Structure 1
């Protein structure tokens, strides 16, 4: 039976969530928060508590209707998860137009209202605002305003701008019902080969901490409230120092190492996040090696979650595991094992118990509350242990105002998401984030900015865009100059199936055939090279022979050409150093910043004109 709005004898209107015809304390926004939490907790069954401890992916149909597992991505039926498994935390995989997302969200909340206690759903998302020419990444972005990636925000190095971004993104998220950001990443890019550097704020702990704190303030505000989006900072205690730069999504990258004995350095941005009031924390998959703590993945690690996070830092917010610590799954027809590094031999129930014993509240990417129910009924975990986490999770829903007004306005979603002001702010940030690495001076002065309408040979620039700035020609021989857009090199994955294709890892240098092709263009005509740095590329030959060298962290062709022609000035400085060779990369210590021998360009380098 759906929720009805009833009135008390004195005319106070309330939502009768448990359908009992009277006003319960948890239904009354006038009641203090902790009283509401305890009243609802006291009414919950074991099954309802267990459902609260899981957060997994959810899909929607493009027309805004609920997916029952028959969409383009394999997810469980919405009705099965909400009505039978009693889950109410979900990570939305992808979306449609803003109106359809809002309508889907309202349908989902209506379904949740039909459960016994009417506990509302909380929707989370991975980042959706970074500009990308990658179809897989841009599919996530949808209609949201497009900004540079976090590396680009770090390159601009303006906390006020980052806070402004967070506030705009918050408005877009709340308009469609998204209330938890599974970001920012406070990890440090001290291992230049690591595949997830593009989600960080670089390798400097001080700059990263300032950016992380500003990001959180923008999303959450001074305190969590009905207008907030809660941030889940990740990946505690810092996921950057990966052995050989491999990623622990995969078994071959599970080891996290500290050859420079620099563990505490990686905690500094998280300390800034705690000071900013971050609401939630996600530990990473990595298994620490060579430290005086248990060598198991951080999500299973009591030394890290309880002793360090809960006790030393007194963090009493929500801790949610990274996705998929318990169960093996199939992805695109290929097996994808649970990321249970160091405890692979344990059963699913034993893994779940170890996660809870470590001090974690919620299982990310999992949908098996029956495992927790069995652990309690068999006496392996007391129900009181569940209550500790359930209180935290309920408290967050109340603070976000979901019990009092869970629905959104589809008309407002259309007006707010991707509106002209937000898009303009993101487009300007794309331009500001460019780093001018080199600007050679010739007989006529510096190469940049360009003027007039030169004849341009282009690679990886849309001809229809370039033709509005100059005359596009077919060969370098015909051109006054060339503009090449490149991407930082990477190598094919070592394994890991379909998902591994989205992780750019391995060597950072251009190999012989591709390098020769690029240098051939550079030898024929003065060439402006723009390189997308999702990792610190090794490119000494390109730097030497280019007429101008730019770096971007997610920017459109129009943004590039506006900077090249001086219509908008770039302001970026490097958020990490660029190594001079792969030999120097291999000599670096994965946990130590700024330790590349004779870097090609140092941290903080950036020219202007």
Structure 2
């Protein structure tokens, strides 16, 4: 079916036209038809089975479409199937209303980019925006209209597995990346060609679950909520996000997905959000699980009454019971109409009434676009963080290497190279670290030998995500653990350098994958220690989505490069980084603790009693991090000088310009991420010892310099004050630091007066 090529620009309706068309449809709809628009079903197809939550069977989905009882589907990425189901939706509606199709386009569809925490490590909104634009183009080509991304949950406890999906610990960095992702997904606004609706999630506080345990309750002060957890969402809304997803957990004793204050008062009334809100999977019915609602009808009334418009349901949606809730008087029809109107308006803005189908022939062309793979490679290069490089071991010189041992269970695992939260992938296109090095090094000069050393780790507990092909590695037959480890060590001993690729298997992180330990899994550290003991120079390449316990490695391994889960062209990028074709310039988007006993450990803490002892809070270990927030090494060397202000005193509401010169004193061209941190010395609240208030990624040639100007205005100098119950800007002195991470020493100060 090639009914319409949706690249052809359709006349864009005005907001008045959007509202008028939605209202006209609404006036002709029955209660049952309205309720159908508020239900989104999973549609996995007949091949899909699960030991997890019950899922709709294909005939159930088609029956709902034929009766106009669902307005949206998700998890369909075959354009032919999308068109078939869309036709059923239109023909099943008395009013010809098309369906919305959603998908978890978290870090790519067919072309997989580095995981979101890695993209955050690029400290480059432009790279992030381009990556999500590629994802949107591929998704729209196959018929997807809505993504459940970006995930904007601030995460300060790395035991929480979903840290991998988000922007890290800092609200300033997260806000810049949030806006970039929305622009990448949506373009200028909802309905832009080759773009999809962005869906920031999970609103709000999900990343603060007790103990880092996924889905567990969250207790947040109003100060933390306003100053830390809400800002990235506000940035996404201001960038035009058309959808927001609710969160699963209790927030301060009330399920977040039924908190009117969040969705109606803050999101819509205070921020002016005009899009629609969707639940996370089964979070509508979860209100019964929480003990917040007595039954499904009450759960539906509580959800819609709070301002949550669309229920994502694996089976038996609570919102299907809305007619019962209306009959009981649990809510009124005007409230239901408001939710339905928002769904209809989204469909009008997307142009689905005029162009409901996808061009199947074009979809194949878009998915195969080699430019997308190149963009993914560049993103992987810009995301990698060099954590250690003693003696200048890196970059490796390809002209002098005669033998390289590539070791570790992740070195040639295509599925792990992609990372979690990808489903519609082509593993044949994925380049592993082993393949990347073999492609980069001349076989006539360098022999590249491989041994996994240890067997893959299997998931201990089943998950609904295991049903996707390749999510859990097969247990290799006849794998002799001790013999394989000895073989890996032997290869290392006979090589010029050993590249050891370790970390977490991709199924060990993500949703439902919290950990009680940050240790390298299984026998990985044993393998690493044995390889180091050979005396061969060792480069540790990490694949991960959170900090791991690297205390031994940080003292004994000369070079450590964190490539995260680098995506489709990750191995190519890793090889180029290791051989110096490009210099690493990623910077950590979180504080890296020494051990799990330190978490949560954040740089932007407040000053407490005995600040001089801040780094020695434990009797058995330093309280300082292994690597600070914003940290990352380079093949260049950078010096900061000439820190000046355009004024040393400003009145409230005014701005101050901060200038600094960044010089590359090394002999290699490289990127640097200049970072500005602020501290308000005193005021009407205790303020963090340092807070990121500006950053700039810039390329500096060897021996060259770049001047950088940061502007600090009311947004950077204000905060939400718990005592006042509002945003305030105090009259106070401010300290400024500029440098390459959160421990920057170049400093000056100014005063806010009046």
Report the TM range for the smaller structure's normalisation: 0.7 to 0.9
Q: Residue 88 of structure 1 is aligned with which of 56, 59, 71?
A: 71
C-alpha contact (below 8 Å) 1:163/1:217 kept by paired residues: yes
Aligned to 2:142: 176
For structure 2, the residue ranges without an aligned partner over 5 or more in a row are: 5-12, 413-433, 450-486, 608-613, 616-622, 636-754
CA contact (8 A) 2:144 2:196 kept: yes
1:530-569 alignment runs, 5 A limit: 530-555=541-566, 556-569=570-583
SS at match of 2:161: coil
Post-superposition offset of 1:570: 2.3
Query: Which one of 211, 225, 228 corresponds to residue 263 of structure 1?
Result: 225
1:488: Cα distance to partner? 4.3
Once the two structures are TM-superposed, the CA of residue 127 in structure 1 deviates from its matched residue by 2.2
The secondary structure found in structure 1 opposite 2:199 is strand
Distance between the aligned counterparts of 1:197 and 1:82, measured in 2? 36
On the 8 A contact 1:296/1:341 being kept in 2, the answer is no
Q: Do structure 1's residue 104 and structure 2's residue 102 form an aligned pair? A: no
Structure 2 CA distance, aligned partners of 1:325 and 1:300? 10
Work out whether 1:75 is the aligned partner of 2:56.
yes
Q: TM-score, normalised by structure 2?
A: 0.65
Matches within 5 A, 1:29-44: 32-44=17-29
Aligned positions of 1:319-334 closer than 5 A: 319-327=277-285
Measured in 2, the distance between the counterparts of 1:607 and 1:345 equals 52
Partner of 1:275: 238
CA distance in 1, matches of 2:177, 2:237: 13
1:506 equivalenced with 2:535 (yes/no): no
Name the counterpart of 2:205.
238
Between the aligned partners of 2:232 and 2:390, the Cα distance in structure 1 is 37
SS at match of 1:574: coil
Instruction: Tell me the SS of whatever aligns to 1:124.
Output: strand
Cα 1:68–1:38 change in 2 (3 A) is farther
Query: C-alpha offsets along residues 98-138 of structure 1, whole Å, 9 cap, x if unaligned?
Result: xxx111111112111212111101101112545xxxxxxxx
Deviations 1:420-467 (A, max 9, x none): 1111111221122111111110xxx54423333332222232355544
Alpha-carbon spacing, 1:80–1:490, altered in 2? closer, same or farther (3 Å): closer
Q: Which residue of 2 aligns with 1:515?
A: 525
Quick one: which of 38, 47, 53 aligns to 2:32?
47
Where relative contact order (Cα < 8 A, 6+ residues apart) is larger, the structure is: 1
Higher mean displacement: 509-518 or 225-234: 509-518
1:389 aligned to 317, 339, 342, which one? 339
Shift of 1:318: 0.6
- The alpha carbon displacement at 1:212 in A equals 0.8
Task: Say yes or no: does 1:486 pair with 2:452.
Answer: no
What residue number does 1:304 align with? 262
Contact 2:282 2:313 (8 Å CA) reproduced: yes
Q: 1:128 to 1:461 in 2, by over 3 A?
A: same
Q: Cα gap change, 1:380/1:512 in structure 2, threshold over 3 Å: closer, same or farther? A: closer
CA shift, 1:300, in A, is 1.5
Residues in 2 aligned to 1:421 and 1:513: alpha-carbon distance in whole angstroms:
39
Native 8 Å contact 1:570 1:608 kept in 2: yes
Give the match for residue 434 of structure 1: 384
- TM-aligned CA distance change 1:83 to 1:153, over 3 Å: same
Q: Is the 8 A contact 2:107 2:116 kept in 1?
A: no
SS at 2:269 equivalent? helix
2:364 matched to which residue of 1?
A: 414
Residue 80 of structure 1 and its aligned partner are, at CA, apart by 1.5
Report what 2:740 is aligned to: none
Using the TM superposition, give the Cα deviation of residue 342 of structure 1 relative to its aligned residue in structure 2, in angstroms: 3.7
1:317 Cα deviation after fit:
1.8
CA contact (8 A) 1:487 1:532 kept: yes
Residue of structure 1 in register with 2:448 after alignment: 472
Q: CA contact under 8 A between 1:194 and 1:505: conserved in structure 2? A: yes
User: How many Å apart are 1:205 and its aligned residue?
Assistant: 0.9
| 1:219 alignment partner in structure 2 | 185
Please list the CA deviations of residues 524-575 of structure 1 after superposition, one character each: whole Å capped at 9, or x if unmatched.
2211001122111121111111120011222233322221112233221111
> CA shift at 1:602, angstroms?
0.7
Report how far residue 489 of structure 1 moved: 8.7
Alpha-carbon distance in structure 2 between the residues aligned to 1:388 and 1:577: 43
Aligned pair partner of 2:174 in 204, 208, 213: 208
Runs of 4+ in 1 over 6 A off after TM superposition: 28-31, 489-493, 589-596
Residues 492, 422 of structure 1: alpha-carbon distance in 2 compared, 3 angstrom cutoff: closer
Q: Aligned in 2, Cα 1:153/1:512: closer, same or farther, shift over 3 Å?
A: closer
1:454-486 Cα shifts (integer Å, max 9, x gaps): 322222323555444332345222122211111
The DSSP-based 3-state class of the residue aligned with 2:35 is helix
Task: Please give the root-mean-square deviation of Cα atoms over the aligned residues, in Å.
Answer: 3.2
Question: Paired residue for 1:575?
Answer: 589
Indicate conservation of the 8 Å contact 1:287/1:341, yes or no.
Answer: no
- SS of 1:262's equivalent? helix
Hey, what does 1:598 align to over in structure 2?
624
1:580 and 1:52 mapped to 2: Cα distance?
Answer: 50
Conservation of the 8 A alpha-carbon contact between 2:147 and 2:198: yes
SS class of match (2:138): helix
Q: CA separation of 1:221/1:447 partners in 2, compared to 1, >3 Å: closer, same or farther?
A: closer
Q: Give the C-alpha shift of residue 490 in structure 1.
A: 11
Q: Is the 8 A contact 2:384 2:584 kept in 1?
A: yes
What's the secondary structure of 2:200's corresponding residue? strand
Supply the distance in 2 between the matched residues of 1:260 and 1:449 (Cα, whole angstroms). 50
Q: Which residue of 2 aligns with 1:114?
A: 91
For the structure 1 residues 589 and 546, does the alpha-carbon distance in structure 2 shift closer, same or farther, using more than 3 Å as the test? closer
Partners in 2 of 1:35 and 1:45 — Cα distance? 18
TM-score when normalising by structure 1 = 0.80
How far residue 288 of structure 1 moved from its aligned partner, in angstroms, is: 2.1
Query: Tell me, what secondary structure is at the counterpart of 2:198?
Result: strand
**CA contact under 8 A between 1:146 and 1:427: conserved in structure 2?**
no
Gaps of 5+ in 1: 6-27, 96-100, 131-140, 249-253, 290-294, 328-337, 494-498
